[in-house]
């Protein structure tokens, strides 16, 4: 029997709803892996920075390159097509370019000031992404920004260990939170 126009409209609305839900689910799943990865990278980077403050450039170059290599592998493995790898590399390149450019413009800056750039930029990106797309990103961005800024303003004597937990920990927990979606 032919469905009525009302039933057909309802079926098409259901399809749209599921499309949206599936897209959100896949988006959160893909993002969760990257959040955990970069959270671990920040945890390692800030912990090593606390132990070896003279070798910040070497530490962060190694950490970023390792995370980038693993992140690219994760993007390839996601099976979401070649476009996703290109977009992933473009996003990371943009973030790194922004951080290098701000260092250049405002140099000289202290290591602590330099270490605030990536977390604050990421925080703003996630808040904006959450406002436009999915609400969980706003929570992640706000938590990252508040904890990082709080550490810089009030916990400077223990800045590096604090950032290992505040930045690395927040990203890891956020990744696990998205995975539970």
Partner 1 sequence: MQTPDEIIHQPVRLKIMAALNTLEARQWLEFVALRAIVQATDGNLGAHLTTLEAAGYVLVKKDFVGKKPRTRVCLSRSGREAFGRYVIALQAILEPGSLEPDHQQN
What are the residues binding partner 1 (CB under 8 A)? 1-5, 8-9, 11-12, 14-15, 18-19, 21-23, 25-26, 29, 79-81, 181
3-state secondary structure at position 52: coil
- Whichever of 81 and 111 has its CB closer to partner 1, that residue is 81
Question: What is the rounded distance in angstroms from the CA atom of residue 109 to the CA atom of residue 105?
Answer: 10
Least gap, CB of 104 to partner 1 (angstroms): 41
Is residue 94 a contact partner of residue 76, using CB atoms and an 8 Å limit? no
- Whichever of 26 and 93 has its CB closer to partner 1, that residue is 26
Question: What is the rounded distance in angstroms from the CA atom of residue 54 to the CA atom of residue 39?
Answer: 23
- Whichever of 23 and 128 has its CB closer to partner 1, that residue is 23
Least gap, CB of 141 to partner 1 (angstroms): 24
Is residue 64 a contact partner of residue 41, using CB atoms and an 8 Å limit? yes
- Whichever of 1 and 153 has its CB closer to partner 1, that residue is 1
Least gap, CB of 19 to partner 1 (angstroms): 6
Question: What is the rounded distance in angstroms from the CA atom of residue 69 to the CA atom of residue 73?
Answer: 6
């Amino acid at each position: 029997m032919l469905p009525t126009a009302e039933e057909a409209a309802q079926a098409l609305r259901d399809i749209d709803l599921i499309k949206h839900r599936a897209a959100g689910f896949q988006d959160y799943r893909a993002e969760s892996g990257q959040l955990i990865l970069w959270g671990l990278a920040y945890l390692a980077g800030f912990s090593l920075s606390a132990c070896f403050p003279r070798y910040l450039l070497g530490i962060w170059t190694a950490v970023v390159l390792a995370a980038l290599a693993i992140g690219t592998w994760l993007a390839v493995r996601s099976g979401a097509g070649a476009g996703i790898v290109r977009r992933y590399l473009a996003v990371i390149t943009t973030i790194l370019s922004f951080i290098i450019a701000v260092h250049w413009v405002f140099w000289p800056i202290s290591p602590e000031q330099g270490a605030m750039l990536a977390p604050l930029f990421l925080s703003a990106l996630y808040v904006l992404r959450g406002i436009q797309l999915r609400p969980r990103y706003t929570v992640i961005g706000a938590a990252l920004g508040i904890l990082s800024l709080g550490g810089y303003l009030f916990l400077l004597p223990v800045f590096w260990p604090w950032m290992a937990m505040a930045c690395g920990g927040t990203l890891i927990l956020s990744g696990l939170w998205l995975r539970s979606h």
